[in-house]
Amino acid sequence: MSIPSEQIGRVYLVGAGPGDPELLTLRAARLLAQAMIVVHDGLVDPAILAMAHPKARLISVAKRRAHHTMPQEDICALLVREALAGNDVVRLKGGDPLVFGRGGEEAEACRAAGVPVEIVPGISAANAAGAAAQIALTHRDHASVVSFVAGQCKGLSDQDWSGLAGVGRTLVIYMGVKTAARIAEKLIADGLAPDMAVAVIENAARPEMRVLRGVLAALPDLVENERVKSPALIVIGEVTRERDDALAAIALRAKQ
Ligand code: SAH
């Protein structure tokens, strides 16, 4: 029995940005205030969830590295089931839904089930970290290429990163805290200078943000000694080199 299309709900895959509610889009804030069902993952800040409709059902499908509370197929099935039951669903994801967010898979599942899906972009961690730490991901004098890579264990050793980092290029690594030592080793083996500048930005755009700087060869020690925790980004390239004026600007903002 097919459901009349006017009775099918809509799924909105919404980017929640890096955590600061002021970095949501107006569209994300409006959809969040209206939807009766909000399905969110672990990176979404409680202050953002507080913007949901007071009567909305908030469903957490939080994923932590070791224990997945809900497998991806079940998340897709949940979105489709609710929409087919006539509910509009906001699927809130940290950052941007289509940058290491599995938004593509969820959109496919909706389309395959005949459920209308709309994607609302969010500020991805790379953009948030660049702005908050005053690191220009591209710069006319230092970098005309920027790449985003996933640094988690799966497949790290078979990936070819040659060409992604080096002079004139910025490499932004998501999910790389646990594998920082292997990443540094791999890039140096690929020919990157051990003294290439790196920055680690933990909790970008949140009050507890830390920006740590160093050189590639010392990245594993930096991550270990400073006890860097997820969520954090590793940025590799000339653009991260410490600049006193930018550091002063961050300190000034923190005081305000
Ligand atoms: N879709 C998200 C990325 C999800 S993958 C986005 O577009 O930002 C999760 C990884 O994103 C984390 O392991 C971390 O590397 C990065 N990340 C997310 N939020 C972050 C934040 N506030 N500060 C630093 N890194 C962050």
Q: For the domain that residue 113 is a member of, what is the CATH number?
A: 3.40.1010.10
Question: How is 133-155 classified by DSSP, letter by letter?
Answer: HT--SSBTTTEEEEEEEE-SSTT
CATH code for the domain of 189: 3.30.950.10
Give the mean model confidence (pLDDT) for residues 87-115: 96
The pLDDT value recorded for residue 253 is 61
> Rounded to an integer, what distance in angstroms lies between the CA atom of residue 232 and that of residue 246?
20
Distances (CA, A) of 44 to 159, 190, 212, 220, 234: 29, 36, 24, 28, 20
The answer on 239 and 163 residing in a single domain is yes
pLDDT of residue 248: 59
Place of tokens 């290491």: 100
Q: How many domains does the chain have?
A: 2
Residues 104 and 189 in one domain: no
Of 93, 108, 123, which residue constitutes the final position of a domain? Answer: 123
Q: Write out the residue range of the structural domain in which residue 220 sits.
A: 126-255
**Quick one: which of 159, 160, 143, 157 has its CA closest to 235?**
143
Q: Is 178 a known active-site residue?
A: no
| Residue 208 and residue 134 share a domain | yes
**Residue 64 scores a pLDDT above 70:** no
Q: How far does residue 24's CA lie from ligand 1's centre (Å)? A: 15
pLDDT of 136 above 90: yes
107 and 140 part of one domain: no
Q: Give the position, in ligand 1's atom list, of the atom nearest the Cα of 175.
A: 13
Would you say 137 and 159 are in contact if contact means Cβ atoms under 8 Å apart? no
Instruction: Verify whether ligand 1 is closer than 6 Å to residue 100 (CB atom).
Output: yes
Our mutation pick for probing the ligand 1 site, out of 40, 41, 43, counting the most ligand atoms within 8 A of Cβ, is 43
Q: What is the mean pLDDT of residues 80-94?
A: 97
Q: Tell me the CA–centroid distance for residue 17 and ligand 1, in Å.
A: 9
CB 115 within 8 A of CB 10: yes
Percent share of the chain, pLDDT over 90:
81
Render 64-82 in DSSP notation, one character per residue: -SS-BSS-HHHHHHHHHHH
Q: Is 41 a catalytic residue?
A: yes
Q: Mind listing the pLDDT tens digit for each residue in 172-220?
A: 999 999 999 999 999 999 999 999 999 999 999 999 999 999 999 999 9
Which residue bears the tokens 């809900």? 70
Are the CB atoms for 25 and 44 separated by under 8 Å? no
Cα separation, 104 vs 111, whole angstroms: 11
What amino acid occupies position 235?
Answer: V
| Dist. CA 128–CA 134, nearest whole Å | 10
Q: Residue 199: inside a domain, yes or no? A: yes
Determine, yes or no, domain membership for 60. yes
Among 25-29, 56-60, 65-69, 89-93, the least confident range: 65-69
Q: Which of 23, 45, 91, 174 to mutate to test the pocket of ligand 1 (most atoms within 8 A of CB)?
A: 174
Look up tokens 């970290």; give the residue.
129
How do beta strands 168-174 and 197-202 pair? unpaired
124 CB within 6 A, ligand 1 = yes
| Mean pLDDT on 14-18 | 97
When pLDDT is cut at 50, 70 and 90, the band that residue 5 belongs to is confident
Does the beta carbon of 233 lie inside 6 Å of ligand 1? yes
Residue 222 and residue 212 in contact, taking contact as beta carbons nearer than 8 Å: yes
The verdict on residue 171 lying in a domain is: yes
The closest residue, in CA terms, to atom 6 on ligand 1 is 95
CA 56 – CA 32 distance, rounded (Å): 9
pTM score, whole prediction: 0.91
| pLDDT value of residue 35 | 96
234, amino acid identity: I
- Report the pLDDT value the prediction gives residue 255, as an integer from 0 to 100: 57
